[in-house]
Amino acid sequence: MSIFKAAAIQMRSGTEPRRNAADMEAMVREAAAKGATYVQTPEMTGALVRDKDARATAFTTEEKDVVVATAARLASELGIYLHIGSTAILRTDGKLANRALLFGPDGKLLASYDKIHMFDVDLDNGESWRESAAYEAGASATIADLDIARLGFAVCYDLRFPQLFRAEALAGADVLTVPAAFTRQTGEAHWHILLRARAIENGAFVVAAAQGGKHEDGRETYGHSLIVDPWGRIIAEADHDEPGVVIAEIDTALSAQARKKIPNLKNAREFAVNHVARLKPALRRAAS
């Protein structure tokens, strides 16, 4: 069990990775100066780019990526765990991954996770997204054992798939992470509810750094970066969509306490689903 300060960095990433990396650095330094030893940035920290040709210019491999290099340097210099919530990474097969990366206090890459669930949706008012047209989905969950906590990874739309978080909690994760770029429309409706639900269901802290505001590529994101405790209480929030830093103290003993009070992870049972077909009632014969 351990106690540490966690920070969620809220950004408004534009289309230029170097400028976004500089904005990220300033806020990571602010978080570290306030005592945070685990710092999380939002989904697509490096850039938010809708245009296909512009994506090809903006994104590159891990070895050449400016956000990756900046994060490794900052983690080492500040002696923190720095979690890039995600950034677009060019894979060896030429496809893009929506990839989270965690760097340790020595600057080395400790873990990575490729977003599993692609945001392919058609919303109200003509808002439509096809993430699978640009990115290749991941195929496995990731757990990272740190000296401060056991971390479970997710990215944005993964939030709507509770089985991912349940699997990570069953594997011992006491801090679940949900860096995101929730749209304004879906964020206003579901963001707080879903994050609190994942915390309650799994008796775990949830740290969710978000993108916020009107971006250069035209999209609008909801902001409201949150840190939620294992009882579902919001213990830190950016109550707006402006860039900024929120910090909260995390005591992993509270996760163990919540799971002892309500041991639903242990009490879960396997079950079958019985499908009872609806039978058409027999027609009554008319009296003769």
Q: Which residues are catalytic?
A: 43, 115, 156
Q: Structure tokens of 151?
A: 């971390």
Whole-angstrom Cα distance, residue 94 to residue 50? 18
SS3 state of residue 4: strand
Whole-angstrom Cα distance, residue 155 to residue 208? 9
For the sheet with 226-228, list strands across it. 143-145, 150-152, 175-177, 205-208, 226-228, 234-237
The closest alpha carbon to 181, from 153, 152, 157, belongs to: 157
For the sheet with 3-10, list strands across it. 109-114, 96-103, 81-90, 38-40, 3-10, 244-251
The amino acid that residue 163 corresponds to is Q
